[in-house]
Amino acid sequence: MSQILVVVALLGNAVAVGVFCATVLGGVPLLMALPGDQYVHAHGFLATRYDPFMPVTILLTALADLTLAVAAPGWAGPLAGGVAGLLMISVITVSLTKNVPINHWVTAQDPASLPPDWTERRGRWRRWNAVRTGLAAAALAANLAAAVAIVM
């Protein structure tokens, strides 16, 4: 059972890190280079492409990790799984409290008349994407440690 859980956690976590890295390394620089009217359209297009796939993937990863924390044998696997689960819950928290509200704000804007603070909101979106990417990458490291502990 623990081996299946760690595979689920690793796969989901790796997909999340891959998507987040692609966003931080490619999508964010592209969006930051666009003028406001184009930014609103492009952001709206990109932001909706990952729903509901990414939230489901991240939630399943967190659940697999937290189950590992309870069900895996020994102490190292549960510890690493618990750390990974808490980090993935942090990813969910950042997504729901920071990124999603900014995404909703952007999609509600009229591209022809953006408010004066739109560039600051764009900067916050970029920073919170970097934060959740780092959290997901740290969770992946913890999941790799859990896999090693469970297999050994």
Q: Which domain holds residue 122?
A: 2-151
Q: pLDDT of 69-95, one tens digit each?
A: 999 999 999 999 999 999 999 999 999
Which amino acid does the sequence have at 108?
A
Using pLDDT thresholds of 50, 70 and 90, give the confidence band for residue 7: very high
Total structural domains in the chain?
A: 1
pLDDT at 125 > cutoff 90: yes
Nearest-angstrom CA–CA distance, 100 and 84: 22
